[in-house]
Amino acid sequence: MNRRNVLKSLSLSIGGVVAAPSLMQLLTSCEEGSSLNWSPLFLDKTQGFVVENLVAIILPSGKNIGALDVNVPQFIDLVLKDLMTQKEQHDFLKGANIFNEKFKTLFKKTVLEGVKKDYLEILSLYFNIQKEKQQEILEFCNSDIDQVENKDLFYLYNFLIFVRHYTLFGFYNSKKVGTEILNYNPIPGSYEACINIDDAGNISSS
């Protein structure tokens, strides 16, 4: 699998929560849910468990580096603690609670009892949508909450999009990915305008 191409396909739009090669890699891995072996600073243990499982679905580990290999869940926890406003924190936690409720309704068990297939199924339910619906969802998520009829769906999508966005952001910008997957040059040369992004790579990783 070319992980650089996977990253490109995941970042283009809301559709496709996980690229096909990663999907096959994911489904051939063990079924058990993750065990939380780190202590969140903002999230509680259940929320940390959910984030860890979602992150592991979006960019699974295996033959290639995955999001868990570069501590993306911990990164998301720190982003929430140190960078988000109180309102953004509130909206995230609201969405996380709604996700837990939807999960329990769909699978008749709690998020702590969920396995990878469960998390993949619920993510696919909200992300694997037709292209014509993707822009509609993005506009919906950018609406004023007071003008939204389905507030649960609003908070849920904002929660999932937040996790997906910062999973990709944290992964892209990690030193391990910058040096082992992307084209990293520790001693940048002269400026070259209008070159292909594949040639540029991630020269700013640190």
Q: What is the pLDDT of residues 18-28, one digit of tens each?
A: 544 444 444 44
- What's the token pair of residue 118? 């469960």
**Ordered per-residue pLDDT tens for the chain, 206 residues:** 344 444 444 443 455 555 444 444 444 444 455 568 899 999 999 999 999 999 999 888 877 788 999 999 999 999 999 999 999 999 999 999 999 999 999 999 999 999 989 999 999 899 888 888 888 888 888 889 999 999 999 999 999 999 999 998 898 888 887 777 665 555 555 556 666 656 655 555 54
pLDDT digits 0-9 by tens, 104-150: 999 999 999 999 899 999 998 998 888 888 888 888 888 899 999 99
Rounded Cα gap, residues 22 and 124, in angstroms:
14
Asked if 73 and 49 touch (Cβ cutoff 8 Å), the reply is: no
Whole-prediction pTM value? Answer: 0.78
User: Residue ranges of the domains in the chain?
Assistant: 3-172
**Residue 161: how many CB atoms within 10 A of its CB?**
17
Instruction: Kindly report each contact of residues 47-53 with a partner whose C-beta sits within 8 Å and lies 24 or more positions away, as own/partner.
Output: 47/93, 47/96, 48/73, 48/77, 49/111, 49/112, 50/96, 50/99, 50/100, 50/111, 51/76, 51/77, 51/163, 53/111, 53/114, 53/116, 53/119
